[in-house]
Amino acid sequence: MNRDEQALHRLLEDTFSSCQRILGEQRPQLKYREIGTVNFIGQGIARIAGLPGVKSEEIVCFQGDSLGMAFNLDIDEVGTILLDKSEHLKAGDEVRRTGRVLDVPVGDGLLGRVVDPMGRPLDNRGPVRAAQRYLAERKAPAIMDRAPVTVPLQTGLKVVDALIPIGRGQRELILGDRQTGKSSIALDTIINQKGEKVICVYCAIGQRSSAVAKFVADLQQYGAMDYCLVVFAAGEEPPGLQFIAPYAATAMAEYFMEQGHDVLIVYDDLTAHARAYRELSLLLRRPPGREAFPGDIFYIHSRLLERSTHLNAARGGGSLTALPIVETEAQNISAYIPTNLISITDGQIYLSPVLFQKGILPAVDAGKSVSRVGGKTQLAAYRAVASDLRLSYSQFEELEVFSRFGTRLDEVTRQTLERGRRVREVLKQNQYEPMPVPEQIAILLAVTSGVFDRLMIAEIPAAEKAVALAIRQQLPEICVHLQSGKKLSDGDFQNLVSIAEQAIAIPE
């Protein structure tokens, strides 16, 4: 070794010693990492060779930081569903394991935001500030952690609150043909939670971007976005993203439930969710069953909706109320997906296209709708007024059908028909006009007491407004009692009827 080489060697040793002192004697370490190779890229799925240690539902990372989720663990390859667009991916690309399952950001910073199922913002308002991250797939609360459903969730719709009451922690299905007002009921329910301390989550699955944009604009117009979160997986997004959307939205809602809040979540709609899952299953060559749906189609919805409940006091007392929406075809509620969800949920609100075409809005068919929680969640005064309304209204609808075949009707039948037509007119309601509980009770009491019997059908909408205004102005104490759920005396009911008669100028 010559003199120059010795000098260079000493310089390198000095440099290495200095680096060791600076880095605190750190040594580089080798890490083992599994890397797979893409064998096939399809519409929303990929088949990967390698990754022998990958686990079911583990997130994998493709080139360009695109994400996927391991779905099929076959002997020779791994079937994954893509959670991002795949135009840039091709066979031969490398795939890496991440070692984690799907999780989403949760926290108060999500309120007022529009995000995708991965928690990425879609509203151009900057990054989402998350308190922590929850797994998208979480176990439902145990039976002993649940409490009975007793507190009402007021929708602001007379026909729902009177005939099909919903409680906080209940799962109430909304189903009907397309364009019958299913999303409108959900929208009015969300708007009606203003001031009720109920946090709302709207999960749009496979919807048109324009429809969701209008929905969000309506929420903003009526001041509902302050307590609302929108999770959106558009119809043009990969089916894998549509599939995970309701689970991710439920995880975001569960954070607020576990903080002791009452939460309402709307799934719009689970028909699109089932179709996305069917598409993925067929592409991954899973065995098809009835209507080409895979055998576990019931399970994917039951494990989702089972997470909605009312927690007991030891768990914070929060609740998660679910309003899943399902689209029927040609009024066939006995189809595969509708019957599955009817058997999972605690009741259903059926919207009839026949009623919709007649202009009876909301087009709720009282005969096919039911709430399995029922009057247990209604306020005491509401129960006293509307307890017999459902039965009498159903009898009126039957009687109206049979009365078309005869021309001569006795006086009792004629009066029953006239009263029923006025009840039907009262149950009509315009969109974006949810009604407070005291006004609902006053109007329903007026129509069931016969106050509206002398009015023409066309005069009833104006009479409703007059009665609502009179109750607010002349009986504020009773309104407070009605809102708080207290029972009213016979004298209070007489006062309500008397004020209603005066409001529409009918002498006693």
Binding site as annotated, residues for ATP = 176-183
Residues near 413 by beta carbon (within 8 Å), at least 6 away in sequence: 399, 403
d(CA 67, CA 86): 10
Which residues pair with residue 176 across a beta bridge? Answer: 327, 351
Contact at 8 Å (CB) between 428 and 361? yes
Kindly report the backbone phi and psi dihedral angles of residue 66, in degrees, each rounded to the nearest multiple of 5, phi listed first: -75, 145
Contact at 8 Å (CB) between 369 and 348? yes
Is 372 catalytic? The answer is yes
Contacts of the segment 272-276: beta carbons below 8 A, 24+ positions apart: 272/205, 272/206, 272/207, 272/235, 272/242, 273/205, 273/206, 273/242, 273/243, 273/245, 273/246, 273/300, 273/301, 274/300, 274/301, 274/337, 275/206, 276/205, 276/206, 276/239, 276/240, 276/242, 276/243
Closest-CA residue to 172 (of 372, 332, 317): 372
Contact at 8 Å (CB) between 390 and 163? yes
Q: Which helix (H) or strand (E) holds 81?
A: strand 78-82
| Residue whose token pair is 């002997």 | 75
The one-letter code for the residue type at 85 is: K
Q: Which helix (H) or strand (E) holds 492?
A: helix 490-503
Known binding positions: 176-183
Which residues pair with residue 274 across a beta bridge? Answer: none
Three-state SS for 503?
A: helix
Instruction: Sort residue 179 into left (φ over 0), alpha (ψ -120 to 50) or beta.
Output: left
Kindly report the backbone phi and psi dihedral angles of residue 239, in degrees, each rounded to the nearest multiple of 5, phi listed first: -60, -25
Question: In the structure encoding, which two tokens stand for residue 292, read together?
Answer: 């080409």
| Residue whose token pair is 């145990």 | 142
| Residue whose token pair is 């060559």 | 285
d(CA 178, CA 396): 27
Contact at 8 Å (CB) between 231 and 202? yes
Half-sphere CA count of 411, side-chain side, radius 13 A: 0
d(CA 195, CA 434): 13
Select which of 285, 372, 414, 454 is catalytic: 372
Question: Hey, which residues are catalytic here?
Answer: 372
